[in-house]
Amino acid sequence: MSASETIHVDGVWRAAASGATREVLDPADATVIQLVAEGGAEDADAAVAAARRAFDDGSWSATPVAERAALLRRVADLLQRDREEIALIESRDTGKTLEEGRVDVDDVTNAFRYFADTVMNESGGRVVDAGSADVHSVVVHEPVGVCALITPWNYPLLQASWKIAPALAAGNTFVIKPSEVTPLSTVHLVKLLAEAGLPNGVANIVTGAGVPVGQRLADHPDVDLFSFTGGLVSGTKAGAAAVSGAKKIALELGGKNPNVVFADACATEEGFDTAVDQALNAAFIHSGQVCSAGARLIVEESVKDRFVAELARRAEKIKLGRGTEDGVECGPLVSQQQLDKVEAYVASALAEGAQLRSGGARPEPSDIRPATGYFYSPTVLDGCHREMKVVREETFGPILSVETFTTEDEAVALANDTEYGLAGAVFSGNSARARRVAARLRHGTVWINDYHPYLPQAEWGGFGKSGIGRELGPSGLDEYRESKHIYENLRPEPVRWFGG
Ligand code: NAD
């Protein structure tokens, strides 16, 4: 296989049918890491045809659940075997630090193991009481069929695995289209699936752009399920195309996530230190390119000045550089386009009256920070309000906006004042208050006195425009299964509804 043969159809690695290629760039210095195949609609068609054949011939869907689960566990072991290699691929491709890359590999390993266990535990079907001893009624689960899986650039391995692991556990076949910006770890993952023994045609990948490849998968009549993670605009467009063909759809979209800090969280020095540290982590890990980033700090007025001063002081000290360098805490943004977008958001916030407390510019180049890299300094903007673009829209960069409140009701109203509803957090030293506020937040994940952890066994997804459906947890498996009710009459006799 040559480096640019990144399309995998029916067990064969190959180039794009058109021969086109795309350069994948290292965001730390804008040099080319690798050429990949730039697939087109005909590659998408070939991949769907392979997935269709593999589904219809039952080579995977009819494989006993225990064997499917065993294969997922082998994939988990292979991910751990290749942990350093994959972490390096992910770090160079996305810009994130090597340590973040390792954490991602460990997290997806857990996801593969979780879905292996879950499908085993839930494979027996559910007997339903039909109200008669003469009836045996059972609800069983079956795979949906051919799944089209579309993933974004920020957590490529993780987003791919959250779809691939449950899709395979349930017995589906799939075509995945990773982001054209960061496709490399997904290519590696598909190689591991083949090495683990998955039959040809079950797992297919087409590297290429959203239009035409993703769009073709959304439109394709032989696709049964369309699962998309990415931005609101492209997600709703692709989702609408998929729905018009009556496919099942799942959309994991953006977020504009509040981090609510009450003064009582800062009543002790330890509490203050923790809340500031967590606010930094919430906003700036992976340079804020996280769907659940705590990009809106909503802090109680009485502690705001001290809190923001300390936050800005620590933000200035975050070590920015190439993700593979020792000691680097934050990598670059993923692309020039993303850098331009972040600069525009900061400019618009300042024009609307925000006060710059840290960052607000590209950092000076250094030996770990090439001038050609897409670096941007962690930026804290004080004095923000809900009418500002920077507060309402997902910036997907290292920008933290600060708003204040004086009452609990006001804090809840601010936190819920977003068209999204993916995640949010509340920091309070009063556990009754923290739980009360958590119960009122209209977000799919709410952390209390923490930020960012998620569990493979707990559902992930959003309220409002953050999406449709859930990944992870039992619901994450159900997305990839059809329920079938089998009603068996044990003593058949005429019903005599009609006289005849
Ligand atoms: P994007 O929407 O630009 O692209 C996502 C994927 O969709 C890519 O593979 C792209 O090629 C493809 N695509 C684009 N247009 C398409 C079309 N018309 N039809 C089919 N596919 C198309 O998003 P991005 O910039 O790669 O990622 C950032 C976004 O992803 C942010 O909004 C972020 O919040 C979101 N995200 C959400 C979650 C979550 O769990 N909810 C997780 C990670 C990222």
**pLDDT at position 448, please?**
98
- 417-428 burial, b at 16+ Cβ within 10 Å, e below that, comes to bbebbbbbbbbb
Smallest CA-to-CA distance from 447 within 256, 260, 198 is with: 260
Residue nearest to atom 35 of ligand 1 (CA): 230
Whether ligand 1 lies within 6 angstroms of the CB of 156 is answered as no
Ligand 1 atom at minimal distance to the Cα of residue 422? 41
Rounded-to-integer distance, Cα 39 and Cα 21, Å: 8
Whether ligand 1 lies within 6 angstroms of the CB of 338 is answered as no
Q: Regarding beta strands 21-26 and 423-427, do their DSSP bridges make them parallel or antiparallel, or are they unpaired?
A: unpaired
Per-residue pLDDT of 398-417, as tens digits, reads 999 999 999 999 999 999 99
**pLDDT at position 2, please?**
81
**183 prior amide bond cis, ω within 30:** no
Residue nearest to atom 13 of ligand 1 (CA): 210
Tell me which amino acid residue 202 is: V
Q: Whats the size of the chain, residue-wise?
A: 500
Q: How confident is the model at residue 125 (pLDDT cuts 50, 70, 90)?
A: confident
Tokens for 201, please give them: 């045609």
| 48: number of Cβ within 10 Å | 24
| 265: number of Cβ within 10 Å | 26
Rounded-to-integer distance, Cα 275 and Cα 86, Å: 32
Percent of the chain with pLDDT over 90: 98
- 70, 115 Cβ separation under 8 angstroms: no
Ligand 1 atom at minimal distance to the Cα of residue 150? 9
Q: How confident is the model at residue 138 (pLDDT cuts 50, 70, 90)?
A: very high
pLDDT, average across residues 78-97: 98
Rounded-to-integer distance, Cα 38 and Cα 45, Å: 14
Percent of the chain with pLDDT over 70: 100
CA distances from 208 to 163, 226, 229, 241 (A): 19, 17, 16, 19
Tell me which amino acid residue 177 is: K
Per-residue pLDDT of 210-269, as tens digits, reads 999 999 999 999 999 999 999 999 999 999 999 999 999 999 999 999 999 999 999 999
Whether ligand 1 lies within 6 angstroms of the CB of 467 is answered as yes
Residue nearest to atom 30 of ligand 1 (CA): 230
Q: DSSP label at 120?
A: H
Q: What is the whole-number distance in angstroms between the Cα of residue 71 and the centre of ligand 1?
A: 29
Residue nearest to atom 16 of ligand 1 (CA): 210
Q: Regarding beta strands 31-37 and 21-26, do their DSSP bridges make them parallel or antiparallel, or are they unpaired?
A: antiparallel
- 301, 369 Cβ separation under 8 angstroms: no
Residue nearest to atom 38 of ligand 1 (CA): 291
Whether ligand 1 lies within 6 angstroms of the CB of 335 is answered as no
Ligand 1 mutation target, pool 22, 43, 150, most atoms within 8 A of CB: 150
The mean predicted confidence, pLDDT, of the chain is 97
Ligand 1 atom at minimal distance to the Cα of residue 178? 9
Whether ligand 1 lies within 6 angstroms of the CB of 179 is answered as yes
Rounded-to-integer distance, Cα 229 and Cα 232, Å: 9
SS3 call for 356: strand
The answer, yes or no, to whether residue 384 has pLDDT greater than 90, is yes
pLDDT, average across residues 371-396: 97
| 192: number of Cβ within 10 Å | 20
SS3 call for 259: strand
Q: Is 50 left (phi over 0), alpha (psi -120 to 50) or beta?
A: alpha
Q: What is the whole-number distance in angstroms between the Cα of residue 370 and the centre of ligand 1?
A: 28
Q: DSSP label at 285?
A: G
For residues 103, 154, 368 and 80, what is the CA-based torsion angle, rounded to 10 degrees? Answer: 30
